[in-house]
Structure 1
Amino acid sequence: MTAPARLTQSRPPAISPSALDSVLGSPRLSELELHALAPISQSRQLPVGAAVFARGQAATHLVAVLSGVVGLGSAGADQQFQLERCVHGPAWLDLSSAWVGAGHAQDARVMQPASVLDLSLDGIRVLLARFPDMRERLLLGLAQTVQSLTGTTHDLMSKDAQKRLATWLLQRSPVQGDNVAMKERKRELAAQLAITPETLSRLLRQLMSAGLIEVKGYSIKLLNLAALQNLASG
């Protein structure tokens, strides 16, 4: 399999300060930090279906999604992509592989048109000596990623599909009467919940029949918050 090209443009497009802030977190980066990050940063505008990186490809950059949606999973020999989870920008896509000197653990494919940020690991190492506070930003990013994956793993191990769906709904809108906007396509959400799209549709119908939710297009209204909370924790 041919690995996706990493950096192909002769002159990288400028990265906006707000884009770097969105993934490196608060407080806002100083002008000195932004100036130092500019030469080691590059963004890529990628269409749906494009490969961000391939499983096993040498990881030399820290990779983030600035906007859009990128899926992580595995691509078979027939190029069919098995989606496992989606990353919505702004968020880190792979903050660990380059640090441990390993290849990317998964394939990454664009699910919705995306802007992807590459930060050179070699460049970051140099900057950490100049800007010690940047270590805290990267450690926080790693911690948030681990926390999210730990929570996902716990749910997969301890909750059935209906409980996982109820948990997902409550995480996105814990207020009764609120509408939950489904940013993901059903296939993407089903992959996150480790179920098939058909099972997801069936579970949504069951919750509707029970009077817990109301589905209109890509919006889900929570009708019975207490019942959903009991379902998620029961």
Structure 2
Amino acid sequence: MPTAPRSVELKLTGLVSSLRCCQLFTGLSPEDLTAIAGFTQVLRLAKDDYLFHEGEASRGFYVVQAGAINVHRVSAAGKEQVIHVFRMGESFAEAALAAPTGYPANARAVEPSAVLLIPKAPILELIGRRPDLALRMLGSMSAHLRVLVGALDDLTLKDVESRLLNWLVKHHRGARAGVIQLPGTKRVLAAELGTSSETLSRTLARLRDGALITVAAKTITVHEPARLVAMLRRNLGEG
């Protein structure tokens, strides 16, 4: 019996490796991962290409293989509100598998990206046979809900400076030597903060001129974390 072409084997191996990097599939057996990889599709997006639009019928859910995907909604007034920017190894849109109204938001690549589409019919069939996978997906959706709650909290910070200060304070806690790695470009950070690149640049410049931070292409170094916290509390009327 002829063996599969080498290119097909390599593609399958690459898909299995990408799926294994996703928390949703961590711990699955090689057989399960190979089965899922067998019906997974690779979608390549240029910067600003849309993966799906709000209300579009669900084709399945997604795992970011490379790049970054901005999931957002647009208000009646035309204002875009970013829900989350998903990056390599993260899954999203699992909830749409069971939603009769389709995708609840829009998804757009913020840089050249590769996304794995896990098609709806075969994954639902697998979930029906594997309750443990269903529990994993519930856990993933719970994590997405926590992100939404965090986003709602951030939106209570009305001005851009407060939102940026809040972001710096939160990310400084896990930074080594005060160096925060930026989530892609500054445009991506601006989208996460719900502002424009120009406004973000001006706000960063004010903090830099105050010797609070140093801004590089891919990092922000925090020099005065206590002063940042004090500024944030003052902006919130707490100090």
Q: Same fold (TM over 0.5)?
A: yes
Residues 140 and 74 of structure 1: CA distance in aligned 2, closer, same or farther (over 3 Å): closer
1:184-195 pair list within 5 angstroms: 184-195=184-195
Residues 36 and 180 of structure 1: CA distance in aligned 2, closer, same or farther (over 3 Å): same
Alpha-carbon distance in 1 for matches of 2:73, 2:153: 22
Q: What is aligned with 1:212?
A: 212
Contact 1:176 1:224 in 2 (8 A): no
Alpha-carbon distance in 1 for matches of 2:96, 2:187: 27
Alpha-carbon distance in 1 for matches of 2:25, 2:51: 26
Between 1:17-26 and 1:140-149, the stretch displaced more is: 17-26
Shift of 1:61: 0.5
Q: Which amino acid aligns with 1:214?
A: T
Matched, 1:34 2:33: yes
Alpha-carbon distance in 1 for matches of 2:121, 2:16: 21
Alpha-carbon distance in 1 for matches of 2:215, 2:112: 26
Contact 2:157 2:163 in 1 (8 A): no
3-state DSSP of counterpart to 1:16: helix
Alpha-carbon distance in 1 for matches of 2:194, 2:205: 18
Shift of 1:227: 2.0
Alpha-carbon distance in 2 for matches of 1:18, 1:232: 42
Contact 1:177 1:223 in 2 (8 A): no
Shift of 1:144: 0.8
Q: What is aligned with 1:7?
A: none
Contact 2:213 2:222 in 1 (8 A): yes
Q: Which amino acid aligns with 1:109?
A: R
Q: TM-score, normalised by structure 1?
A: 0.80
* Superposition CA RMSD, Å: 2.8
Q: Which amino acid aligns with 2:148?
A: L
3-state DSSP of counterpart to 2:116: strand
Matched, 1:148 2:147: yes
Alpha-carbon distance in 2 for matches of 1:167, 1:111: 23
Higher helix share goes to which structure? 2
Q: What is aligned with 1:230?
A: 230
1:65-104 pair list within 5 angstroms: 65-73=64-72, 84=82, 85-104=84-103
Q: What is aligned with 1:183?
A: 183
Matched, 1:164 2:137: no
Shift of 1:26: 6.2
Contact 1:33 1:131 in 2 (8 A): no
Gaps of 5+ in 2: 1-7
3-state DSSP of counterpart to 1:52: strand
Q: Which amino acid aligns with 1:205?
A: A
Q: What is aligned with 1:60?
A: 59
Q: What is aligned with 1:109?
A: 108
Q: What is aligned with 1:18?
A: 17
Shift of 1:212: 1.5
Q: What is aligned with 1:51?
A: 50
Q: What is aligned with 1:6?
A: none
User: 1:178-234 CA deviation, whole Å, 9 max, x = no partner?
Assistant: 222323333322221122222212211221222211113332111012222334455
Q: Which amino acid aligns with 2:71?
A: L
